[in-house]
Amino acid sequence: MSTPEEIRGEAAETEAGETQRAQRPVDQPMNVAMAVQQLRGLVCGLGAGLLGVSLVLSAFIYKQNRNLTGAINARQRQISQMSANQQQVTFVIDELVRYSTGKPELMALFAKHGMQFTPKSGGPAAAPEPSH
């Protein structure tokens, strides 16, 4: 463990060394070949970093597109299943409307839940017309 005097002495030595380096003139100017070499290294490093970021971003976008495609396919399957079931449900609703047209208690129950039925122009059956 250092004593406070030793710590102060080390701090003073580092400050003196930094002051000497800051005040010391450059011994030799850098030659052109070394400057070009440093610049080349910097450009190659930045290019490699840009390539890395580009690859990571491309992988992320590919993953997002794949997930989105899967979700779209799942929704299309659901829509096709619902379309297939729509004909059966429409038939059941038409039969229910035809049965309940003359019964006021059923019509009151439908009205309570927001369903209004109007008679079809083609015959005695009525089509459901939801009211919101």
Contacts of 118 (CB under 8 A, 6+ apart): 126, 127, 129
- 20-27: which pairs have CB atoms within 8 A and are 24 or more residues apart? none
Q: Where are the domains of the chain?
A: 34-130
- pTM (predicted TM-score): 0.44
pLDDT digits (tens, 9 = 90+) for 93-125: 888 888 877 788 888 888 888 877 765 644 444
The count of other CB atoms within 10 Å of the CB of residue 16 is 10
pLDDT in tens, 50-98: 999 999 999 999 999 999 999 999 999 999 999 888 888 888 888 888 8
pLDDT digits (tens, 9 = 90+) for 7-21: 777 766 766 566 555
